[in-house]
């Protein structure tokens, strides 16, 4: 399927199912879809904990469950299925190129380099950190590389690593959002996990400067989004809020059993406080400032008291604390289950965002491929937009 066609179909499908993925169960205790599909909400609310963990992590399984109740959702799975990018074999290089790179990061970089493919053009490594990717490309492609990075300390460490490895790599300390000197015409611009506005800036500036080739693996799409995401390409109907763009990168973070217990308790307590706030103010969900860690270490009644005081609410008596703590745990139980529906659309939102960049490049005369450059276990941000000027 052509990218523009996939984009139009995904745009329409996400719009159709907006009432499933847009509501956040921590704001809306029972999203409207619970009434529309009561059997779905009953099945979710009855799930045991291990199924909840599994379904929050396994998107195809979550979409499968949803499809049982809402068959048309099957289209989302088809539209988000992308090919694995073809990979070239990387030239032999001495093992010491990878000094200081943790194992999984090294594998990500190697997979990106193999999928990006050598064009023979000089390389610009955009927001390159210590320039590990740029160093690998300089060594395997035998080409000159400029790594642009805002942090002078990272540039200094990267320069030392490049020197040790004998790589033709130079560092440019610059703010990617400000510089008018980079990227340059005829360059091959690579960006591995340059966040939101940084990868969008590369693409827009790069098109203006006639960059020859782009290989961009985006991440943190929400960075630099004010209220609403501003698409680069034309003709989209869906409008995403900043929170919607965050959904694209909401991953279940692997944690130790102790960290998991702490995280669960923090969520239950905050929801217990939210229940108190709703009761005394009569208002719907309102965000609040981060909670100091130390407040989570005493008992719930002390926590509730401190939160109510800080948020200017009437203060709870000690005898209601037990009830609101129990309400918090119950809400956490339900929220984890109802969120499976929203989370099932994570990849679809991410693909929509990546397609926006890919189609923008196509509209401006590039031949573009979009696919995954590595397995999800290496990094969930495994989409690669590869665009060649024709």
Ligand X SMILES: C[S@@+](CC[C@H](N)C(=O)[O-])C[C@H]1O[C@@H](n2cnc3c(N)ncnc32)[C@H](O)[C@@H]1O
List the one residue out of 18, 32, 58, 30 whose CA is nearest residue 340.
Answer: 58
61 versus 154: smaller Cβ distance to ligand X: 154
- Element spanning 75, H or E: helix 74-80
Among 25, 31, 129, 218, binds ligand X (CB under 6 A): 129
Annotate each residue in 6-45 with x if it binds ligand X (CB under 6 A) or - if it does not, as one string.
----------------------------------------
The reply to whether 151 sits near ligand X by the rule CB under 6 A is yes
Among 176, 189, 353, 385, binds ligand X (CB under 6 A): 176
The reply to whether 267 sits near ligand X by the rule CB under 6 A is no
The reply to whether 193 sits near ligand X by the rule CB under 6 A is yes
Among 72, 160, 177, 284, binds ligand X (CB under 6 A): 177
Among 61, 150, 266, 291, binds ligand X (CB under 6 A): 150
Stretch that binds ligand X, among 32-40, 158-166, 189-197, 227-235 (CB under 6 A): 189-197
71 versus 102: smaller Cβ distance to ligand X: 102
> In the bound complex, what is the minimum distance in angstroms from residue 117's beta carbon to ligand X?
18
Among 14, 34, 85, 127, binds ligand X (CB under 6 A): 127
Q: Which two tokens stand for residue 303?
A: 């926590």
Q: Dihedral (C-alpha) 238, 385, 149, 222: value to the nearest 10 degrees?
A: 20
CB 108 within 8 A of CB 132: no
The reply to whether 113 sits near ligand X by the rule CB under 6 A is no
78 versus 177: smaller Cβ distance to ligand X: 177
- Pairing status of strand 383-389 against strand 213-219: antiparallel
Stretch that binds ligand X, among 40-48, 86-94, 172-180, 288-296 (CB under 6 A): 172-180
Among 192, 359, 361, 385, binds ligand X (CB under 6 A): 192
Residues constituting the chain: 390
- Element spanning 360, H or E: helix 346-363
Q: State how far the Cα of 75 lies from the Cα of 236, in Å rounded to an integer.
A: 18
Q: Which two tokens stand for residue 363?
A: 């509209």
Rounded alpha-carbon distances, angstroms, from residue 274 to 155, 195, 266, 307 = 45, 32, 12, 10
Rounded alpha-carbon distances, angstroms, from residue 25 to 190, 233, 240, 269 = 38, 31, 18, 16
Q: State how far the Cα of 344 lies from the Cα of 63, in Å rounded to an integer.
A: 6
Among 4, 74, 75, 154, binds ligand X (CB under 6 A): 154
The reply to whether 216 sits near ligand X by the rule CB under 6 A is no
The reply to whether 327 sits near ligand X by the rule CB under 6 A is no
Q: Strand, helix or coil at 12?
A: helix
Q: State how far the Cα of 193 lies from the Cα of 224, in Å rounded to an integer.
A: 14
The reply to whether 149 sits near ligand X by the rule CB under 6 A is yes
Stretch that binds ligand X, among 115-123, 136-144, 192-200, 242-250 (CB under 6 A): 192-200
Q: Strand, helix or coil at 328?
A: helix
Q: State how far the Cα of 99 lies from the Cα of 137, in Å rounded to an integer.
A: 15
What residues line the site for ligand X (CB under 6 A)? 127-129, 132-133, 149-151, 154, 175-177, 192-194, 198
């Amino acid at each position: 399927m052509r990218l523009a066609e996939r984009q139009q179909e995904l745009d329409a499908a996400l719009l159709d199912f907006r009432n499933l993925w847009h509501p956040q169960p921590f704001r809306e205790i029972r999203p409207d879809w619970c009434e529309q599909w009561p059997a779905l909400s009953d099945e979710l609310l009855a799930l045991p904990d291990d199924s909840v963990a599994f379904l929050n992590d396994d998107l195809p399984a979550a979409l499968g469950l949803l499809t049982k109740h809402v068959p048309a959702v099957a289209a989302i799975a088809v539209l988000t299925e992308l090919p694995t990018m073809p990979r070239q074999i990387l030239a032999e290089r001495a093992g010491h190129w990878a000094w200081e790179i943790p194992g999984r990061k090294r594998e990500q970089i190697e997979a990106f380099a193999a999928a990006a493919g050598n064009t023979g053009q000089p390389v610009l490594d955009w927001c390159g950190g210590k320039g590990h990717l740029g160093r690998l490309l300089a060594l395997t492609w035998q080409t000159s590389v400029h790594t642009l990075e805002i942090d002078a300390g990272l540039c200094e460490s990267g320069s030392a690593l490049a020197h040790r490895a004998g790589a033709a790599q130079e560092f440019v300390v610059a703010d990617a959002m400000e510089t008018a000197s980079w990227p340059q015409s005829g360059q091959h611009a690579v960006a591995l996990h340059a966040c939101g506005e940084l990868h969008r800036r590369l693409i827009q500036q790069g098109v203006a400067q006639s960059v020859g080739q782009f290989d961009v693996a985006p991440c943190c799409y929400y960075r630099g989004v004010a209220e609403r995401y501003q698409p680069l390409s034309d003709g989209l109907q869906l409008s995403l809020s900043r929170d919607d763009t965050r959904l694209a990168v909401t991953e279940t973070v692997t944690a130790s059993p102790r960290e998991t217990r702490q995280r669960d308790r923090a969520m239950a307590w905050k929801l217990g406080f939210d229940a108190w706030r709703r009761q005394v103010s009569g208002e719907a969900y309102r965000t609040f400032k981060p909670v100091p860690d130390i407040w989570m270490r005493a008992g719930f009644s002390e926590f509730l008291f401190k939160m109510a005081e800080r948020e200017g609410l009437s203060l709870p008596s000690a005898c209601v604390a037990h009830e609101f703590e129990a309400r918090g745990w119950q809400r956490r139980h339900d929220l984890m289950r109802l969120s499976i529906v929203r989370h099932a659309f994570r990849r679809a939102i991410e693909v929509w965002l990546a397609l926006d960049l890919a189609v923008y490049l196509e509209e401006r005369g590039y031949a573009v491929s979009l696919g995954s450059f590595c397995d999800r276990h290496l990094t969930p941000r495994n989409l690669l937009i590869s665009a060649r000027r024709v």
